Amino acid sequence: MVPHYPTKRSALVPTLLYAQDEVGFLSDEVIGEIAGRLDLTELEVRNVISYYSMLTTKPRGKFNVQVCTNISCLVRGAEDILRHCSKRLGVPNKGTTPDGLFSLEEVECIGACSWAPAAQVNYDFHENLSVEKVDAILEGYRRGSGI
């Protein structure tokens, strides 16, 4: 990826995303490897990871359910959506189901304000949510997982 960017540092976020998709999370080993390849310190890499909610140093479920509770979503029922997801999955915010299938996370704006309330599952956006829609969405991922 490095030749596609003007500086090695510019390749950091996409490189972290690729590595996270491959490994599941950004382990100490992954951080060290990327820091070395991009001529950065591990602290510089960790600072970037801590800024972006889509990057994690801890294992998550196969499907990471991120529910936006920022203002547009909040006024259109996001707290009910988050509460429902938590109840449905049986985990609190930042929790992971025992089978490792789902993680749940409350997040800031995901850029889908016009279609609030919205959530993101891995790279998929789900908009104009209702509790009924949430049930169908979660069930779809569960069925698709083969578990």
Stretch that binds ligand FES, among 3-11, 14-22, 34-42, 69-77 (CB under 6 A): 69-77
Q: Parallel, antiparallel, or unpaired for β 119-121 and 63-68?
A: antiparallel
Select the residue interacting with ligand FES from 16, 26, 34, 73 (CB under 6 A): 73
Q: How far is the CB of 79 from ligand FES (least distance, A)?
A: 12
75 contributes a contact to ligand FES by CB under 6 A:
no
Instruction: Please list every residue from 101 through 120 that binds ligand FES, using CB under 6 A.
Output: 109-113, 116, 118
Q: Does 89 bind ligand FES (CB under 6 A)?
A: no
**Closer to ligand FES by Cβ: residue 51 or 114:** 114
- Minimum CB distance to ligand FES smaller for 51 or for 98: 51
Phi, psi at 11, each rounded to 5°: -85, 0
Binding site for ligand FES (CB under 6 A): 68, 70-73, 109-113, 116, 118
